[in-house]
Chain A
Amino acid sequence: MFNILRLVQNENLKIYKRMSTWIMISLLILSVVIGGIATKFLMNPNDGNPETNWKEELQVRNEQLQMDIEQIENAVGAGSATKPLEEEVLINNYRIENDIAPVESETLWGFMISAPNFTTFASLFAIVIGAGIVASEFSTGTIKLLLIRPVNRYKILLSKYLATLLFAFLLVLLIFITAFIVGSIMYGFQGIDLPYLVYTEGQFVEKNMLNHIITLFGLNSVNLIMMVTFAFMISTVFRSSSLAIGLSLFLMFTGQQIVMLLSQYDWVKYILFANTDLTQYFSGSPVVEGMTLTFSVTILAVYFLFFNVASWVIFQKRDVAA
């Protein structure tokens, strides 16, 4: 174990002594800052004082929702399609009755709730690192001196994988911290004690908002971990970082669309990208009817194992002729 930690330390040395790593980290932080400024100044803020107006707004919103629900019911009949809308109506009513204001987008929490979207950038940069961490040792020939040490190959591979994941988590953490700092500077701490409302099985539960935001980050990181693991596998199997970056980014940006296009087929639920967005089980409806959280987690676990076993087997067996 001690051994592995030192190997991870080595991989970190190789990651963080590179200029390109720091450029990526700066870009990530910059994008969150710019995103924050853009939401504050470019998006049209509600006129008037939200403190007094929110109840009326919710009422208007509920009327709109009711109309939508009727329309959908007339078109396709009552079913899962209207469920999220009905829940929103119920939650809005609960808010009005219990005097719990919703989180406005121009507040710290409002901004932080949208911040997990930045994990796409984190995925991008973590894929770049994961794609290069094995392939670059082959392309520069350093793999030879790395592998003639009294350390079995699987340990070296594991240390590289762990270092990649650590980098990915560092990026997500940086998004969180930057969003918090930017959000609190721009909006202050007004509304910080607002709870997060959930409606489950006919009951309203008030939850801690910070926990909710952390959960959102966690759910968004699922896709990140899967894509980084995929890039790492391609990098190990084909020893080409450009192939690993290209393929991973292509799939990351088109995967969801492909799943949507094919969503009339039942087998689509076995595709990785039908399962990476776990928020579908918390708000909205699953891609294919009948999919459950357990199902998706199982599918994700299978893909995760497959990617890692493939990397491991190939790396262990490969003749190093670089």
Chain B
Amino acid sequence: MMEREPIIQLKDLKKKIGRKTIIHGISLDLYPGEVFGFLGPNGAGKTTTIRMMVGLMKISAGEVLINGHSVQDNFEKAISYVGGIIENPEMYKYLSGRDNLIHYARMIPNIKKEKIDEIVKLVGLEKRIHEKVKTYSLGMRQRLGLAQALLHSPSILILDEPTNGLDPAGIREIRTYIRRIAREENITVFVSSHLLSEMQLMCDRIGIIHHGKLISVEDVTTMKEDNLDISVHFDVTPSQKALDIVKEVQPDTQPSIKENWLTVQLKKDEIANLNKVLVDQGIDVSGIYAEQKTLEEKFLEVTGGDSHV
């Protein structure tokens, strides 16, 4: 995947509103056909980043390239590859679903009537498409939102919290559409959410954003719980000496000491080894207690666990 040309590039993207910096320099490459999850708690800066990516907000510093075209300097070209829903899919309620689609189709050259029918079928709205949008349920509006985003066969789909407010069935439906679109049409999907569980089910890669910084990007396959560090507590005496030893042999395990408990972050298969090192150095290890974390806990930990709705 990495040898391919990225289709979206964020280069040290920053946003300042007034004196407040909201996005602190995000750099990210997205590749064709991948589903990328943009995960972060409320207020992390997901919507702000997405707004800059689609030109709704001015970029304070850095740049966004879509298929090599700068969103700022060559907006019409860059955005022509993109379909999106930003937060709620707000459409014209007094128009029918079909009139809404006709409206958006007129803004793009060469969209045929058949294309509209095809998309309507894809999102399963044939029966209600002639009715006014104000009569639609949230799920139907979300699907109409997907329809308008897919009208011009974009290479990139940008969705900001597409499952917000949907019931579990609606969420599964959207998830199925997203996976299918990415697979069948080779569309890159950039989807944001504040729910890890949801992201794991539909994404290939997940980037975690917190306080306007991208703090990690990982493949979902390597994010299995077995691969996570485990917090291991050793009951040791003398504790200070034990800490010094660990700092020397495994300084990247974030060793810390509290009373006689030495805490380190380890992979499962490293526990026995560290124990051996300590014992060999004459430390008295009278207890080992491992604390396995779930991904959800890990996510909460890195994001400070705040405002997780």
Chain A residues with CB under 8 Å of chain B are 3, 6-7, 9-10, 13-14, 17-19, 140-142, 144-145, 147-152, 317, 319-321
Contacts and interface: CB of A to CB of B under 8 A. Distances in A.
A53 to B, nearest CB: 57
Given A141-B88, A147-B55, A148-B79, A18 B148 contact: no
A145 B90 contact: yes
B90 A320 contact: no
Q: Place the interface of chain B in its size category.
A: 35 or more
A13 B98 CA distance: 12
Nearest to A6: B106
A17 B86 contact: no
Given A10-B107, A142-B91, 17 more contacts: A6-B107, A13-B99, A13-B103, A18-B94, A141-B90, A144-B56, A144-B87, A144-B90, A145-B104, A148-B55, A148-B56, A150-B75, A150-B80, A152-B76, A317-B58, A320-B57, A321-B57
Contacts, number: 78
Interface of B: 17, 51, 54-58, 75-77, 79-80, 82, 84-95, 99, 102-104, 106-109, 145, 148
Contacts of B51: 319-321
Given A17-B99, A148-B84, A319-B56, A9 B106 contact: yes
A141 to B, nearest CB: 4
A152 B75 CA distance: 7
B187 to A, nearest CB: 16
B56 A147 contact: yes
B110 to A, nearest CB: 12
B90 A140 contact: yes
Contact of A14 (B55, B92, B145): B92
A19 B95 CA distance: 11
Contacts of B107: 6-7, 10, 149-151
Nearest to B145: A145
Contacts of B90: 140-142, 144-145
Contacts of A320: 51, 56-57
Contacts of B79: 148-150
A147 B76 CA distance: 10
Contacts of A321: 51, 56-57
Contacts of B76: 150-152
Contact of A10 (B56, B88, B106): B106
A149 B75 CA distance: 9
A148 B106 contact: no
Contacts of B88: 141
A145 B91 contact: yes
